[in-house]
Amino acid sequence: MRIEAPPSMVQLATEALMRMLLSGRLRPGDRVVENQLTQELGVSRPPLREAMRVLEQQGLITQLPRRGAFVTQLTLHDIYEIVTLRRELERMAVDLGVPVREPARLQRCHAALDRHGACARAGDWLGVLEHAVEFHSSVIGLSGHRRLEEAYRSIQLQMLLCMGMNRQARASDESLVDDWERHRRLLQVIESGSPAAVHEELAGHGDMTFLDGIEERVGGHSPESLAWLERVRKGEP
């Protein structure tokens, strides 16, 4: 029997801040005011500051000298780096981990998918996002490659923001239950044991819908990001 440690105050504060970012309570360019947040979240300054440091390390908060902390605006180049790195890490994980050799690793995928489904049925879109990230992280875990998991974890919160934008872009055509169904289908393909089939399913997973018109909504264009966006729209790998 395994006893799970309760989440720390830092973890809870980090999750609360991420929910504020995803829900739009904190928007790009907003100042992050410690006094206000300690009262609103019911935490003391030390765990809040540590949570802010976590988000700063992920590039989601920017500390400016003598001005304080502000929510970072992701640029097109940021999105290009996040999405392409995620794709390569997932591709490597599938090549290493499918067919699945350790049933416990697959069980982790099922557990994350179950939580995803419960949130979908409850209409909890923030929970759906959080457990979608958990599910994809468990897919990375199929590889049995600790350093690969660490690399994926290093961009996890940035991925969550991109997933949030994608959820909003798909909301009119895809329900939360449909979102869960999309992930359930991916797990079924993983269980089939064919890496090529998993790669094909991931390519059509629908996680880049938010890129439609993205260059008009964010700045920070670069030659690399614009060339990548053009390839994505042509359906090129």
Q: What is the DSSP letter of 19?
A: H
Q: What is the pLDDT of residue 4?
A: 52
55 has pLDDT over 80: yes
Residue 41 burial by Cβ neighbours in a 10 Å radius (0-12, 13-18, 19+): middle
Distance CA 151, CA 89 (A): 8
Q: What is the pLDDT of residue 6?
A: 59
Tens of pLDDT, residue by residue over 57-99, are 988 999 998 899 999 999 999 999 999 999 999 999 999 999 9
Whether domain 9-71 has CATH 1.10.10.10: yes
Lowest mean pLDDT segment, chosen from 16-30, 87-101, 212-226: 16-30
Strand 68-71 versus strand 61-64 pairing type: antiparallel
Q: What is the pLDDT of residue 204?
A: 93
Q: What is the pLDDT of residue 136?
A: 98
* Domain layout of the chain by residue ranges: 9-71, 76-233
Which tokens sit at 177?
């239950």
Question: pTM for this structure?
Answer: 0.88
Count Cβ neighbours within 10 Å for each residue of 73-86 and write b for 16 or more, e otherwise.
Answer: ebebbbbbbbbebb
From the options 3.40.50.2300, 3.40.50.920, 3.40.50.300, 1.20.120.530, give the CATH code of 76-233.
1.20.120.530
Lowest mean pLDDT segment, chosen from 4-18, 78-92, 102-116: 4-18
Tens of pLDDT, residue by residue over 155-202, are 998 999 999 999 999 999 999 999 999 999 999 999 999 999 999 999
Phi, psi of 71 (to 5 degrees): -70, 130
Tens of pLDDT, residue by residue over 122-147, are 999 999 999 999 999 999 999 999 99
Q: Residue 51 in contact with residue 17, Cβ under 8 Å? A: yes
Q: Residue 70 forms beta bridges with which residues?
A: 31, 62
Q: Residue 111 in contact with residue 191, Cβ under 8 Å? A: no
Q: What is the pLDDT of residue 1?
A: 45
What whole-number percentage of the chain has pLDDT above 90?
86
Distance CA 104, CA 127 (A): 24
Distance CA 133, CA 162 (A): 11
SS3 category, 36: helix
Q: In terms of Cα–Cα distance, which of 53, 133, 139 is closest to 94? A: 139
2 has pLDDT over 80: no
